[in-house]
Structures are given as C-alpha cells and as structure tokens.
C-alpha cells in the first residue's frame, strides 16, 4: 500500500462531489436542448472519476488495476458504440439527386 490518502482529501473530494451534484440539478432548470444531456453526463463522468481515483484508491493502485478498470470502459464503449452505429443509421437512404 503506497501513501495513505488523508482524511482531509476524502472530505475535499466529497465536497467537490456535492458541488457537482448541486450543479447538475441547477443546470437542469435551464432548457439547453441537447446540452442538458451533455452537461448531465459530463458531470456524472467527472463524479465517477473522482470516486474512482480517490475513494477507490485507483490513483495509488498498480497498473494491472488500471488496465482492468479501463477494460470495463472499453467493453462498454463497444456495447454502446456498435449498437448506436446500428440505431443511428436506421433511416431511409435517399438516392442523390431525387
């Protein structure tokens, strides 16, 4: 086990997470079209990164752990990405010029 994260660091990360949560809810009050979803997902991703790096000690973990964590996201990106390539291209193709 490498250096121990201090209690203060945990609390600071926690405060940051709460601020991000408040930001998410506040941002939802405004109508920003597709950016509502973009902002919501981005904030959720940042929160996830904070939890993974600090609470789950990923920062002080070995390379193998990083690879496993990265692999989970890699497989999810295959699942989401390839399914969406089907879903997003389900429109009638029109011949050019018509």
Partner 1 sequence: MREDAVSREQSAIQRVPGRQQADTAEVASHARQFDDAGQQRETASLGMWIFLATEFMFFGGLFMAYIAYRYLYPQAFAAGSQYLKTLLGGANTGVLLTSSLTMALAVHAAQAGRRRTIVAFLLLTVALGAVFLGIKGYEYFSEYQEGLVPVFNFAFDGAQPQQVKLFFILYFLMTGLHAIHMTIGICAVLAITVLAWRRRFSAQYYTPVELIALYWHFVDIVWVFLYPLLYLIKA
Name the minimum Å distance from CB 57 to partner 1: 8
Q: Check residue 23 for interaction with partner 1 (CB under 8 A).
A: no
Rule CB under 8 A: say whether 38 interacts with partner 1: no
19 binds partner 1 (CB under 8 A): no
Q: Is 9 helix (H, G, I), strand (E, B) or coil?
A: helix
Task: Write the CB contacts of 24 (distance below 8 Å, at least 6 apart in sequence).
Answer: 39, 40, 43, 44
Rule CB under 8 A: say whether 11 interacts with partner 1. yes
Residue 57 main-chain phi, psi, to 5 deg? 60, 30
Tell me how far, at minimum, the Cβ of 48 lies from partner 1, in Å: 5
Query: Which bin fits 57, alpha (ψ -120 to 50), beta or left (φ > 0)?
Result: left
Q: Which residues bind partner 1 (CB under 8 A)?
A: 1, 4-5, 7, 10-11, 14, 17-18, 21, 24-25, 28, 31-32, 36-37, 40-41, 43-44, 47-48, 51-52, 54-57, 61-62, 64-65, 68-69, 71-73, 75-76, 79-80, 83-84, 87-88
């Amino acid at each position: 086990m490498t250096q121990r994260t201090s209690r203060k660091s945990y609390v600071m990360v926690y405060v940051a997470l709460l601020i991000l949560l408040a930001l998410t809810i506040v941002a939802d009050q405004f109508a920003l079209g597709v950016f509502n979803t973009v902002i919501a997902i981005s904030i959720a991703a940042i929160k996830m990164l904070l939890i993974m790096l600090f609470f789950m000690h990923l920062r002080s973990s070995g390379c193998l752990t990083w690879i496993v964590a990265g692999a989970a996201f890699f497989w999810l990106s295959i699942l989401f990405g390839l399914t969406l390539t089907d879903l997003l291209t389900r429109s009638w193709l029109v011949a050019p010029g018509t």
